[in-house]
Chains A and B, each alone.
Chain A
C-alpha cells in the first residue's frame, strides 16, 4: 500500500508541477510502470489515473507555463480515483434508476437510451479555467448584444460587419421577435458553449448553443453520486463544487421574473431530456409544468396547480423549442404550445428562458462572425478562438474551400445535432462532385472548417482504458453579469473513429472537475 501511495504521489505531483510536457510524459510512464508492476487488480486503476492526467493536463501545463504562480501551487493533494473507478457500475446503476436517459431519434424512431457515465473526470486547472471563464463571458456578452441589435436597431448589419443574407435568410431568424426587448435585456440566459482542446493545447470554440442547451444536470447529479462513492477524493482534492447549478439557474429566473412564480416547462415525459427538466425543477424548488398547466388570460400567464390554485407566472424556463411554443404565432399545427404566450411575452408580462429567436445567434453561418462581434460590440480582442472557418459566400473563401476540399469538414448550416457534417476526405469522388456543385450553387448554405486535431481523453472500456475524442460544453448563466458554471459537460465518442461527440449520436459523458487551487 505504501508503494502504491508513492506511485500516486509521483504521478500527480508531476501533473501539476511539470515544467514541460516532455518531462510530464516521462514521469507518467515511470509511475505507470511502478503501478502495473505490482500486478494486483485494483491497483491497475492507478495506471488509468496516470494516463488520464497525462492528456487531461496537457493544456493546463501550457497555461501554467504562461502563468506566473505556477510554482506556488505545486503540490496538489492526490487525486485518488481508486474508489471512484471501482464504483462505475454502481453509479451507472443509480443513474439508470434516477432515469438519467437520453432520447435519440434514429431513422424516425425514438429510442431512449442510458447516457453512460465514465468515471475518469476531465480535470481543468484553476488558471486554465479562469482563462476559459474570461473568454466565455466575453463571448456570451457579445452574443447577447448581437441578439439585441439584430432584433432591434441592426447596426451590425448597417455597418457591414454581418451581411444581411446571414441574418434574414437564416433558419434561426424569427421575424416575430422583431422589436422585442426581453426582460432585463437578456436573450441568452443559459448558454451552452461547446469547446474542444486541440492537440496544440489551444481551446477552440466548436459552437454556441443559445436556444435550450441541455446537459448541465448530468454532471450535477453525478457529482453527488461520486461524492457518496468516494468522499475522501473530494475531501483531499480542491475541486469546485458544481452542485450549485440549480441555484445559479434559479437566480437567473428570479432576476428576470416579471412578477409571479417561476416554472420549468417541459413538453412531457417522452422528451429526450425529461430527466433534466424534472431534476432541475425539483432542485430549484419550482413547479414542473406541461403546456396544459399554463393558460393565458388576457395579457397574463397563469399556472393552475393540481389543487386548482391559480397563480400568475412571471418566468418560464421552457424546454420546448420556439416553433412549438405558441400555435398562434409559430407552427399552427403545434398541439403542445400555449396559445398567446408569445403575445404575453411581447407585452413584457412574462420572461421566457431562453428568449425566442436566439437561433439566429447560434446559427452555423453566424458562428464565423462571433469574433467580429466581440470586436464590434466590446472593442476587445476575442479571448477564445473559433476553429478556422471559411464561408463559401465570400469568393476568396470559396476558392480556398474548393482547393482544399479534402482537408476540410463541410457543414450544412441548416442542420443541427451533428447531422449534415461531412469530412471532405471521406467522400467518394461522385459525392465530392455533387457537394462541390451544391456549394457553388448555394454558397450561403455551407461553412467549411479545418479539421481540428483534438486531444483524446481516456475512458474506461471493458475494464481497460482507451483514448477517445471528447468535447466540453461549458454553461454560462446570464443575470446581472454572465457567470460561468465551474464545471461542464464532457461528452465523448465511444466510436474510436468518430470525431462527432454530440449526444444525439450516442456516446457518454464525464464529470468535469475544476480545481479551486
Chain B
C-alpha cells in the first residue's frame, strides 16, 4: 500500500476568444476498495456554473459553463489517496456487468485481431490467464506516441503494431471481448510524471482487477483511477463545446508522487 499525492492539470488555450464554453470533466478520482481518497481539491477557471455529478458508470463528473469571453481554460485537481489496500474492486451484481463483454466501435475486432484473440487461451478471466494476455498484448505493440489518435480503433492500432496506452488497452479489451469476458477501460494516473494513463480491468469472480498492458504491470499501488467505461470514449477526461472559431491546444500534466506527509499541492 502506498500513500500517493496527485496533481492533475489541464489547460486549454484557444487562439481567439470564445464564449459559452461548456465542459464535462472526468478527472476526479472516486474512492473504492483499491483506492481511498483522503483529500481532494479542485480549482477550475474561468467558470460561471459548476456542478458535480456522476455518469452511468459511477464516474465523478465536473461540468458547467463559462458564458463570457475567454481564451483559456484551466482545471486543477489534486489530493491524497491511499492506494492498494486491495487489488480488486468488488461488484454487487456481476450480471449487470455483462455490458462490458460486448465490443464497441472502438474495440471491435477485425480478422487479424480476432485471430490474435483466438490464439490466446482465455477461459475465465482468472489472473494467471490475464497476465499472459497482458504480456502478449504488450509484446504485440511498440510504444510510439503520436502514431495514433484518440479516434484510432483497436483493429487499426493492431494492424499498425504501435500506439500508446489507450491502444494497448483497446486491443486487450477487443481480444477479451472476442471471448465474451467482461472487461472495461480504465483511465487514470500513474506514479511518476507525465500525461494521463489507461489500462484494463477484468471481471473475475465478482472482482474487477486491473492490468496495465502498456507497462506489462498488474495494477496494485501505483495507479489512481479516474474513471472506467466500455472504451476511451466513455472515459473522455475532457469534453467541451464553445462558440467561436478558435483553434485549441490542450496541455495535460500529471504528477503523482509517493507522499509521507499530508500536504496538498
The answer on a CB contact under 8 Å between A154 and B51 is no
The answer on a CB contact under 8 Å between A340 and B65 is yes
Q: How far is the CA of A329 from the CA of B23 in the complex (A)?
A: 11
The contact of B99 among A168, A299, A328, A343, by CB within 8 Å, is: A168
Q: A157-B98, A168-B102, A175-B99 are in contact. Are A339 and B241 (CB under 8 A)?
A: yes
Which residues in window 44-85 of B have CB below 8 A to A?
Answer: 49, 51, 53, 55-57, 61, 63-65
The answer on a CB contact under 8 Å between B22 and A328 is yes
The answer on a CB contact under 8 Å between B241 and A157 is no
Which residues in window 297-319 of A have CB below 8 A to B?
Answer: 297-299
Closest to B236 in A: A332
Q: A175-B56, A339-B241, A340-B65 are in contact. Are A328 and B49 (CB under 8 A)?
A: no
The answer on a CB contact under 8 Å between B22 and A343 is no
Q: How far is the CA of A297 from the CA of B64 in the complex (A)?
A: 8
The answer on a CB contact under 8 Å between A346 and B102 is no
Q: How far is the CA of A125 from the CA of B49 in the complex (A)?
A: 57
Chain A residues positioned under 8 Å from B65 (CB to CB): 296-297, 339-340
Q: A154-B95, A175-B230 are in contact. Are A169 and B102 (CB under 8 A)?
A: yes
Q: Mark A461-483, 1 if CB is under 8 A from B, else 0.
A: 00000000000000000000000
- The yes or no answer to B24 lying at the interface (CB within 8 A) is yes
Chain B residues positioned under 8 Å from A177 (CB to CB): 56
Q: Mark A332-376, 1 if CB is under 8 A from B, else 0.
A: 100000011001001100000000000000000000000000000
Closest to A327 in B: B241
Q: How far is the CA of A347 from the CA of B56 in the complex (A)?
A: 11
Q: How far is the CA of A159 from the CA of B227 in the complex (A)?
A: 30
Q: A157-B95, A175-B99 are in contact. Are A328 and B53 (CB under 8 A)?
A: no
The answer on a CB contact under 8 Å between B49 and A297 is yes
Q: Give how many B residues have a beta carbon under 8 Å from the other chain's beta carbons.
A: 23
Q: A297-B49, A340-B22 are in contact. Are A168 and B98 (CB under 8 A)?
A: yes
- The yes or no answer to B239 lying at the interface (CB within 8 A) is yes
The answer on a CB contact under 8 Å between A176 and B55 is yes
CB distance from B119 to the nearest CB of A (A): 21
The contact of A298 among B51, B56, B234, by CB within 8 Å, is: B51
Q: Mark A157-182, 1 if CB is under 8 A from B, else 0.
A: 11000001100110000011111100
Chain A residues positioned under 8 Å from B64 (CB to CB): 298, 340
CB distance from A342 to the nearest CB of B (A): 10
Chain A residues positioned under 8 Å from B55 (CB to CB): 176
Interface size bracket, A side: 20 to 34
CB distance from B182 to the nearest CB of A (A): 11
The answer on a CB contact under 8 Å between B63 and A328 is yes
Which residues in window 119-165 of A have CB below 8 A to B?
Answer: 153-154, 157-158, 164-165
Chain B residues positioned under 8 Å from A298 (CB to CB): 49, 51, 64
The answer on a CB contact under 8 Å between B53 and A347 is yes
Chain A residues positioned under 8 Å from B249 (CB to CB): none
- The yes or no answer to B247 lying at the interface (CB within 8 A) is no
- The yes or no answer to B263 lying at the interface (CB within 8 A) is no
Which residues in window 79-115 of B have CB below 8 A to A?
Answer: 95-96, 98-99, 101-103
The answer on a CB contact under 8 Å between A175 and B234 is yes
The contact of B239 among A179, A299, A332, by CB within 8 Å, is: A332
The answer on a CB contact under 8 Å between B51 and A178 is no
CB distance from A117 to the nearest CB of B (A): 42
The answer on a CB contact under 8 Å between B51 and A328 is no
The contact of B241 among A153, A165, A180, A332, by CB within 8 Å, is: A332
Chain B residues positioned under 8 Å from A157 (CB to CB): 95, 98
Chain A residues positioned under 8 Å from B57 (CB to CB): 178
Closest to B229 in A: A175
Chain A residues positioned under 8 Å from B98 (CB to CB): 157, 164, 168
Chain A residues positioned under 8 Å from B22 (CB to CB): 327-328, 339-340
Chain A residues positioned under 8 Å from B24 (CB to CB): 328-329, 340, 343
The answer on a CB contact under 8 Å between B241 and A328 is yes
CB distance from B173 to the nearest CB of A (A): 14
The answer on a CB contact under 8 Å between A343 and B63 is yes
Q: Mark A266-310, 1 if CB is under 8 A from B, else 0.
A: 000000000000000000000000000000111100000000000
The answer on a CB contact under 8 Å between B239 and A328 is yes
Q: How far is the CA of A101 from the CA of B88 in the complex (A)?
A: 58
Closest to B53 in A: A343
Q: Mark A168-201, 1 if CB is under 8 A from B, else 0.
A: 1100000111111000000000000000000000
Closest to B24 in A: A328
Q: How far is the CA of A168 from the CA of B61 in the complex (A)?
A: 24
CB distance from B80 to the nearest CB of A (A): 28
Closest to A178 in B: B56
CB distance from B137 to the nearest CB of A (A): 23
Q: Mark B19-49, 1 if CB is under 8 A from A, else 0.
A: 0001010000000000000000000000001
Chain B positions within 8 Å of A, measured between CB atoms, are 22, 24, 49, 51, 53, 55-57, 61, 63-65, 95-96, 98-99, 101-103, 230, 234, 239, 241
Q: A327-B22, A328-B241, A329-B24 are in contact. List 14 more A-B contacts (CB 8 A).
A: A164-B98, A164-B99, A164-B101, A165-B102, A175-B234, A176-B56, A296-B49, A298-B51, A298-B64, A328-B24, A332-B239, A340-B64, A343-B63, A346-B53
Complex A-B: 26 CB contacts under 8 Å: A153-B96, A157-B98, A158-B95, A164-B98, A164-B99, A164-B102, A168-B101, A168-B102, A169-B102, A175-B99, A177-B56, A178-B56, A178-B57, A178-B99, A179-B56, A296-B49, A296-B65, A297-B65, A298-B51, A328-B63, A328-B241, A332-B241, A339-B65, A339-B241, A343-B24, A343-B63
Counting from the closest, the 8 A-B pairs by CB-CB distance are: A178-B56, A339-B22, A168-B102, A158-B95, A168-B99, A328-B24, A298-B49, A164-B98
Chain A positions within 8 Å of B, measured between CB atoms, are 153-154, 157-158, 164-165, 168-169, 175-180, 296-299, 327-329, 332, 339-340, 343, 346-347
